[in-house]
Structure 1
Amino acid sequence: MSFAIGLRFYRIAVRKKGQKEPLDIGPGSNPCDLLDYIEDFVARKTEPTDEGDAFRTWFFEPRDTNSIRTVHGYISYGTHGFESKFKDVKTKKPKYQRQSTDLEEIPLYFQFWVPSDAKYALVAFQSFQGRSCVSFVQGAITSDFQKRHPDYLLTFRVLAPSNAVSDVAPVKAVTFLKPKEFSDRADRSWLGKKIEELSYEVTVRARKRGAIIGTFKELEKLLPANGSGFVEFEGAAYESVRADVKIGKKRRVIGVFGSGGDAGLIDITENVKKDKSGHPTFESLTAEVDSLMETFFDGIKT
C-alpha cells in the first residue's frame, strides 16, 4: 500500500521591526548567525512539547550531517486524546484498542539550510498521510526568536512550486481533486454509498510516449492567481489541482492550486525508499531534500 509522503519548503528571513528589507543571516550578522540560533533552538526542543488542547506533541531528534551549514533530523510528532481500534490489515481481526491516553508518534523529516552569504534560509518539512506539525514548529520558533531578540522578527514564507519549476517544464499529467459539493442531493451517491464517504479524483494524462499536456507556465495561466475558489474541468468544479512535472532532474507530483494542504506540496512517495515500518528511510529523504533545496535556491536567489 502506497502512502502519500510530501515535502513543503519555506523561505526564512530576519528583519528589524519596522523595516521591510531582510538582513544578512550568516556569521557576524545582527542579531546573530541564524545557524547558531537554529542549532540552539533544535537542541532545546528535544523534549516533548505538548500543544495542550490540540492533543499534539512534538520534539526534535537531530542527526549528524555532512552538509555545510545544515541542521536536519526527525521531528517526532504525536497525537493523543481519542480512542480507536487497531485491526490486522489482512485478517481484519481486532488486535488492540487504543485508549485516549495513548500517544501515537510518527517520524517526520526536517532540514534547515542557512547559506553564509544570503539574506534567507531554506527549510523543508515532511508530511505523512496528510499529517504535519509545521504550524506548531513555525509558531514556536518565531515566538522564541522574538523573545531572544525583541527588536527583530523571524518570518516564514511558503515557497511556491514556480520557484522550483521552469516555465517551460513539460507537464505529463494533471489531477483534479476535491470536487465541489453537489447541489442536487440525488447526485450525492455512487454505488449506494454517500459521496461524502468517498475520496475520488480525475486525472488527465498524455497518452503517447514522450507526449505532454503542455508546459508548466501554460498550466499556471489557467489557474486562479490567489489559490482560492474552484477550478472547472468538464463541467465540474474542483478545489485543488496537482501536476506531474519535472523538478530538477526528476519528475514529481506537485500541488499547484488549492486552498487546503495540497498547494505547494511536493509528493515524493515514489522517489523514496521505505523500510519495514512503512516510513521512508532517512537516507532517501535526505537525498530528495538536498536535491530540491538546490533547485529552490537556484530559482529564488536572484
Structure 2
Amino acid sequence: MANSIAIRVYKIAIYKKNDRKSISIDNINLPTSVSNFMSSFIKEFDIPTENQKLERSWYFELVEDSPPSAFSGYIHYGTFGFESNFVDINTKKHNYHRKNTDIEEIPLFFEFWLPKNTHFGFAVFQSFQSRSCVQLITNAIKEKFKTVNPGYIISFQKIMPNDARGSAYYSAPVKKLRLINKNFYADSEDNYLGEPDIVDFEYVMSAKRNRSLGSFFSIFSKIKSGSRSMVVHRGIEFSEVSAEIKVGDKVRTVGILGPNKDFGVIDLTDSVDIGKNGHPTFQFLKRETDTILKDFNETLVGQQDED
C-alpha cells in the first residue's frame, strides 16, 4: 500500500495561568466547560478556514458525537497556492488544470474524548501520506480557549506508549526494529549497484518466531536515553528508529526516534480498511482509535489515582 495511514494521540490538560498543576477536565469553575467549548468550536469551524500565509485550509465535519464526552469525525484539510495537472492514469489524458486558487482537500479523522472525573482528555488526529494538520488545529483551539476562558490554558501533549506505564503498549513485545538513515551516501565499496550514490538506508532486526527483541519500554529506554538525536550501529548513524510491537493479536508500528512530527506516531497502514475513495473508512479508524484510547485511559486513570 503506497499511502501511509497513522494516528497521533494527545493528552488534553487544563491549567490555571501560571499554575503547573492541571485541574479537572470538567471543573465547574471554568466560565465555559471543556465539553461545551469543544462542541461549539467544531460547530463554529464547519466551513473552510484559510491560512493565507501557510496556504492551507481546514474545517470540521462532525460524524458522531456523544455529548458531553466524545466528538469524532473528519477535518477536511486542504492545500492551495500552486498549479498542477490532473491526469487519468488509465487514459493518460489531462482531465483538469488546477489553478493556484483551487484547494485540494483530504479527509483526516479526529476524535476528542473527555472522560469524567479526570485531569485529562484525549485528542486523536490522523495523518495521510505524512500530511497532518495537528499544529493548525491545536493552535486555533488554544487561542479560542483563552478568549472564552480568561485565565485558563488548554494544552496538547503527544502521548508516547511509554508515557502510559502499565498499558498494553508499555510492555508490548518488540517483533521488529527498523533503523533508518535518510540520504545515506553509499560508496563504491558498500554499494552493490556499483556506483557511489545517495540512498535511504535501512537496517532491520527481526525476532525469531514466538520470540521478541524485548519489551517496548526496554527498547525505548535504551534508544532514548539522554538527549541523543541518533543511534549509532556498526559505525553507521541512524536518525530514525521505529518498532513493530505486538498488541493483542495486532502488530503496530510506533516511531521511537526521528523528526518531531513522526515521534510517537502509531502506524495503522498494514491493517487499514480502505473505502472506495482511497481513504480509511470511518468505522475502521473509530474502532482502532477507541481500542487505543481505552487502554491509555485505564492506565492514566491508575496513575492519577496513585498521585
Superposed displacement of residue 190, structure 1: 5.7
Cα deviations by residue, 1:189-244 (Å, 9 ceiling, x for unpaired): 9676952xx545332212x3212222212211321336652112232111111101
Superposed displacement of residue 20, structure 1: 1.4
What SS is found at the alignment partner of 2:150? coil
Answer yes or no: is the 8 Å Cα contact 1:27–1:116 preserved in 2. no
For residues 32-181 of structure 1, what are the structure 2 equivalents within 5 Å?
Answer: 32-65=32-65, 69-89=69-89, 94-162=94-162, 163=164, 164-179=167-182, 181=184
Cα deviations by residue, 1:31-64 (Å, 9 ceiling, x for unpaired): 4321111011111110111111111000000112
Superposed displacement of residue 259, structure 1: 3.1
Superposed displacement of residue 23, structure 1: 1.0
Superposed displacement of residue 262, structure 1: 1.8
Q: Percent identity?
A: 33
Distance 2:137 2:69 in 1: 20
For residues 238-253 of structure 1, what are the structure 2 equivalents within 5 Å?
Answer: 238-247=238-247, 250-253=250-253
Answer yes or no: is the 8 Å Cα contact 1:180–1:239 preserved in 2. no
Distance 2:149 2:6 in 1: 33
Residue aligning to 2:233 = 233
Distance 1:95 1:142 in 2: 41
Residue aligning to 1:8 = 8
Distance 1:184 1:251 in 2: 35
Answer yes or no: is the 8 Å Cα contact 2:188–2:194 preserved in 1. no
TM-score by length of 1: 0.89
Question: Closer, same or farther in 2 for the Cα pair 1:151/1:79, shift >3 Å?
Answer: same
Structure 1 unaligned blocks of 5 or more = none
Answer yes or no: is the 8 Å Cα contact 2:31–2:148 preserved in 1. no
Answer yes or no: is the 8 Å Cα contact 1:24–1:118 preserved in 2. yes
Question: Closer, same or farther in 2 for the Cα pair 1:215/1:78, shift >3 Å?
Answer: same
Superposed displacement of residue 12, structure 1: 0.8
Distance 2:64 2:293 in 1: 18
Select between 96-105 and 185-194 the one with higher mean Cα deviation.
Answer: 185-194
Distance 1:227 1:248 in 2: 32
Answer yes or no: is the 8 Å Cα contact 1:180–1:237 preserved in 2. no
Structure 2 unaligned blocks of 5 or more = none
Question: Closer, same or farther in 2 for the Cα pair 1:191/1:118, shift >3 Å?
Answer: farther
Select between 238-247 and 171-180 the one with higher mean Cα deviation.
Answer: 171-180
- Please tell me the residue identity of whatever aligns with 2:124: A
Question: Closer, same or farther in 2 for the Cα pair 1:49/1:240, shift >3 Å?
Answer: same
Distance 2:77 2:196 in 1: 34
What SS is found at the alignment partner of 1:53? coil
The count of residues paired between Structure 1 and Structure 2 equals 299
TM-score by length of 2: 0.87
Distance 2:264 2:227 in 1: 10
Select between 65-74 and 138-147 the one with higher mean Cα deviation.
Answer: 65-74
Distance 1:185 1:148 in 2: 62
Q: CA RMSD in A?
A: 2.7
2:202 aligned with 1:201: yes
